[in-house]
Amino acid sequence: MRPRWIALAVVALATTLGACGRGGGDGAAKSGAEGGTVGSDTGAGTRGSADLIEQERRARRRVEAIEAELASYEALQGSRKAGDATSTFTAYLRGDSLVLIRERLDMGDYGYSDNEYYFAGDSLIYYVEGKLSRTRNPGGPPTTDAIVLRLYFDEGGRLSAHEKTLNAEPVELDGYEESAVRRHARALRALIAGDEQASAAALAGSGPVQVELVAGEAPTALRGRVAAREVRNYLIEAEEGQTMSVRMDTESRFAHFVVQFKGQNVFDSSRSGERAWSARLPRTGEYTVRVFLTRVEAQRGGTAEYELTIGLEKAAGQDG
């Protein structure tokens, strides 16, 4: 069937996953039938439970059924440019039902991401992502990394199993990644259905904020609000040897933050229980602070207001 193009007109389509832990892959890491298993050694993921293994097998069977009939589905193609990022995708429909979205998210100098979303009815059943990330290094060439992420969902739409690798090494799933994937999937579905307002609402506030800090000067205070599965992302350029500090003030015990470098956690307040962190930085480049709600609170649709204070101290021997 000859694909037909649909016009899209909503801002910030490409920001959600571009801010969701930069990394890389070769295509969308293949489809569900070729991914690793829950108990495999191919990635860090949920382990051990026979029930989870069976849920993953069900998801794989449903993905294989979709792939087997793909040639008979209607294909809708679309694209959207937002700043330096461009999202280009093909949506496959069986009648009025969306069954698959294949997306290339080109983030310009930051790399690209190939993503696949598989659906059964209104529920996301499987997601696979392959990213190639380039991180800026002042005074030197960019650092390139590869991330592969797989998420499996049960019949009720709950996350049942996951796998993630960074440069082929298993790493842990971050608390915000599932919510970012769900939000981006909702935004794409709304665009495909022609509901630009709903798509914009799904992505509201998801774009990263570049925080300009001068080492040795007063910290910057940032106020915000996070709701349900939203994630707030703050980007900071810093140099090796400098000391970064982050403090979150909030009345909610469910609001937390992580500090990341190249997609890996440097600090996670949801695990430590502390909402203040300070450390000497081991690498030069772009650090990311992400604010989110715990999974249970996000599923309940909770909200939290917060103030994030971020500071940067000079490294030993820096002029000034």
- What structural domains does the chain harbor? 4-203 (no CATH), 209-313 (2.60.120.380)
The candidate with the shortest Cα–Cα distance to 239, out of 320, 133, 122, 127, is 320
pLDDT band at 302 (very low <50, low <70, confident <90, very high): confident
- Tell whether the torsion through CA atoms of 303, 115, 161 and 46 is positive or negative: negative
**Which DSSP symbol is given to 110?**
G
Long-range residue pairs from 78-81, CB within 8 A, at least 24 positions apart, any chain:
78/5, 78/6, 78/7, 78/8, 78/191, 78/192, 79/8, 80/8, 80/10, 80/13, 80/14, 80/191, 81/14
Q: What is the pLDDT of residue 299?
A: 75
What does the alpha-carbon distance between residue 281 and residue 295 come to, in Å, rounded to a whole number? 29
Highest mean pLDDT: which of 17-21, 73-77, 186-190, 199-203?
Answer: 73-77
SS3 (DSSP) at 230: coil
| Mean pLDDT calculated for residue range 303-312 | 94
CA-CA distance, 313 to 234, in Å (whole number)? 18
Among residues 128, 123, 124, which one has the least CA distance to residue 147? 128
Q: What is the C-alpha to C-alpha distance for residues 78 and 304, in angstroms, rounded to an integer?
A: 35
Q: According to the model, what pLDDT value does residue 93 have?
A: 95
pTM > 0.75: no
Mean of per-residue pLDDT scores for the chain:
79
Would you state the pLDDT for residue 57?
82
Residue 42 predicted with pLDDT over 70: no
60 has pLDDT over 90? no
| pLDDT class of 202 with cuts at 50, 70, 90 | low
- Residue of 270, 255, 110 whose CA lies nearest to 174: 270
Q: Which residue has the higher pLDDT, 219 or 205?
A: 219
Mean pLDDT of 235-257: 95
